Amino acid sequence: MSTPAGRRPIVVVAVGAGLLAIASPAVPAGVNAEYRELVARYARGERALAIAGVARFSDSELGRIAQTVEAAALAAERSKAAERVKDREQGKETTEPPLPLRAAVMLHLDLDAAQRPPAGGTEQPRRCPGKQAEIAARYASVLAWHEETRSFARRFFVALANNCQWDACLLEAQRWAREGLKLFPRDAELLLSVGSTIEESATTWAGGSVVENPALAPRFREAARAAALERAAQFRQAQYRFEEALASDDGLTLARVRRGRVLWRLGDREAAQATLEKAIERAADPPLSYLAHLFLGRVHEDSGRLDQAIEHYRLSLGLEPGAQAAAALSHALRRTGETEEAREVLRRALGHAGQRAHRDPYWDYLVGNALHFREQLAALRQESLQ
């Protein structure tokens, strides 16, 4: 349900004489003229040529350029800080450095993607982002200093974390989301990203159930108990992040649905029920309503309330005919003795096989927050043009 991406920060890379001119009238010797021109070409839309050109630089060369530019950017920021405060007091707008820093961010991120071979199947996932993504993130950190580009920087970290999660680089996804949170504390999307990757990791982890299995042989019980405790701790971490996201944005329905699902995983059915009921009240998106009804049905079924479970499974299936809810509804009906209707539900569901207009949202639930990372990256690339 997912697949790879990124790791560890390096220093910010340079992009052109513009930023450096803010720090001093001369361009520092460490900034290669060819490199500056390549960044400018990317900003003009000549992406393939720019990526190929920067790929000829060694990692050490790019690292030296990065160090030079970060130092220049920090010096420029300090010298301009007092002036910006005065401008704000006088009601003037601050302006970002007159150079294509956004283009540099996306150039290095695209180079990073180009240097990673495509996935060779499910057994050979794509390699996670590396040094070029780190340089891109440092550029984004510089952009976070300026009001005009803070939104770009924030959305960059969201998109990078989502890309990593989609590529099954869960530790990297958490790392980049947390890096973003250092710059944008309590940002709802970044908190959702951290919680979602933790939930996915706990759900797909082969460490066993959160609930201990009494049928397990005594010699294996201690290891199983430790694994169950560790997995439960992960779910609690995810729960906490979803609650932080909702405290920041109470309208973030996906965080509420995910919180309800995690509470169910932890065995807190009462809290899970209340959370999912509230998600249903708030949900304006049919796929989220579908998931909330489906999960709430399971909470009721586990609590022995089969009539309520069937009701919510029906509502879920009504939103997504032929989806995963059909199996849940059929199972609940069979438990109540309605075997003929249970068979009919499955017959109708089988009629949709191979004819669905779109994917069942349940299949992508674990990466639901990351589904649109390609569109997010495309929007950032468009904004990098000058």
Q: Is residue 211 located within the same domain as residue 190?
A: yes
Q: Is residue 159 located within the same domain as residue 222?
A: no
In this prediction, residue 270 carries a pLDDT of 97
The CATH number given to whatever domain includes residue 356 is: 1.25.40.10
Q: Is residue 225 located within the same domain as residue 171?
A: no
Q: Is residue 165 located within the same domain as residue 221?
A: no
pTM tops 0.85, yes or no: no
In this prediction, residue 228 carries a pLDDT of 84
What is the domain count for the chain? Answer: 2
Structure tokens at 18: 């513009």
Q: Which domain holds residue 95?
A: 1-185
Which of the residues in the chain have pLDDT under 70? 1-31, 80-99, 119-126, 206-216
In this prediction, residue 21 carries a pLDDT of 34
Q: Is residue 270 located within the same domain as residue 173?
A: no
**Helical pair 147-166 and 101-115, crossing angle rounded to 10 deg:** 10
Q: Is residue 240 located within the same domain as residue 175?
A: no
Q: Check residue 353 and report its DSSP letter.
A: T
Q: Is residue 205 located within the same domain as residue 176?
A: no
Q: Is residue 31 located within the same domain as residue 176?
A: yes
Q: Is residue 144 located within the same domain as residue 20?
A: yes
